[in-house]
Amino acid sequence: MQLSQISLRCTQGEGDRGIICGGTRSGKSSLAAGSPTVPWRLSLLADFHNRYPTGRILIADTKPRFRAEWTADGRSARRVYRKWRFGPVVPGSVLVQPGDKLGLDRAWRRGRIAICQGVAEQAPPIAWIMRQFTDQGDGRRPLLLYVDEAMDFYGPTGLPKPSTGNPILQAMRAGGERAVSVLMATQRAKFVSGQLWELLERLYLFRLEMEGDMKRIREMGVPAWMEPPEENHIFRFWSKLARGERYPPMRLEP
Ligand SMILES: Nc1ncnc2c1ncn2[C@@H]1O[C@H](COP(=O)(O)OP(=O)(O)OP(=O)(O)O)[C@@H](O)[C@H]1O
Ligand SMILES: [Mg+2]
């Protein structure tokens, strides 16, 4: 089983919409975009980046965790991360400050991956950049929005946080016309709103900590035989479009 068989597509302007669910440290971010032990090239985002030579990716990183290679004005971003102990470098990526629309435009001169990063309290200006990114979609160039900690944009009832404007829903709705694919990761499936679940079609499922989360996931139509793995770093895939298809558990092998 190859990751490329279950990765996100953006064909004929239609973007896939996926969610990665799993408990703390189960391996969500590594599957999406690599980690110090999982190389970038094995990740879902790298697959998209290679598959679509004109495609662009925005990583919304509110942990923050990923290291960009460049700043928006074209300098090395290494200085920015002087005090960080961990965190993988995303090759060729450009750092965009929350709220900096000009920075987002400039980033595309340098590369095809932008990282908008800050702490969770900066969700509103990061959400604004997510919205700008979606609005840049012209229906031809494939875009991928990756939200590493999706629940930083939503409250425990699934409602968007104040002043964020529900950027994930907006991107998912734009998917068809603007060629936007969306990937979101979260520990708590339970807090993902029904509106988002309705639009989600791909599930990457890691070990879960809370029972309520699997209940919520089943409400999305996931069949009973689809059980979450018990160990970290192992995930199962399920697609709404091929409901009955059973994929074997997978693990990225560094
Ligand atoms: N397939 C793998 N092989 C080896 N190590 C892995 C693998 N997947 C993840 N890891 C390691 O496990 C740790 C947790 O992974 P990761 O940060 O991706 O988890 P997470 O689910 O995103 O965690 P969090 O809930 O904190 O966001 C990291 O140190 C990562 O390098
Ligand atoms: Mg993570």
Residue 254 falls within a domain, yes or no?
A: no
Edge-first strand order for the sheet with 180-186 is 70-71, 93-96, 113-117, 56-61, 143-147, 180-186, 17-21, 202-205, 236-239
Instruction: Please list every protein residue whose CB sits less than 6 Å from any atom of ligand 1.
Output: 22, 24-30, 35-38, 187, 233, 251-252, 254
pLDDT (0 to 100) of residue 176: 73
Residue 182 falls within a domain, yes or no?
A: yes
Residue 249 falls within a domain, yes or no?
A: no
CA of 202 to the centre of ligand 2 (A): 18
When divided into structural domains, the chain yields a total of 1
pLDDT (0 to 100) of residue 171: 96
Residue 230 falls within a domain, yes or no?
A: yes
CA of 145 to the centre of ligand 2 (A): 15
pLDDT (0 to 100) of residue 216: 94
Give CA–CA dist 153/34, Å, rounded: 22
Q: Which residues constitute the domain of residue 104? A: 13-241
32 pLDDT band (50/70/90 cuts)?
Answer: very high
Question: Which residue from 19, 20, 21, 35 has its CB within 8 A of the most atoms of ligand 1, so it is best to mutate?
Answer: 35
Domain at 122, CATH number: 3.40.50.300
Of all residues in the chain, what percent carry a pLDDT higher than 70? 100
Residues whose CB falls within 8 Å of the CB of residue 79, separated by 6 or more in sequence, listed in order: none
Instruction: Express each pLDDT in 102-145 by its tens digit.
Output: 999 999 999 999 999 999 999 999 999 999 999 999 999 999 99
Read off the pTM.
Answer: 0.98
Mean pLDDT of 35-48: 97
Instruction: Express each pLDDT in 134-192 by its tens digit.
Output: 999 999 999 999 999 999 999 988 999 999 999 999 999 987 789 999 999 999 999 99
Which atom of ligand 1 is the closest one to the Cα of 30?
18
pLDDT (0 to 100) of residue 47: 98
* pLDDT over 80 at 200, yes or no: yes
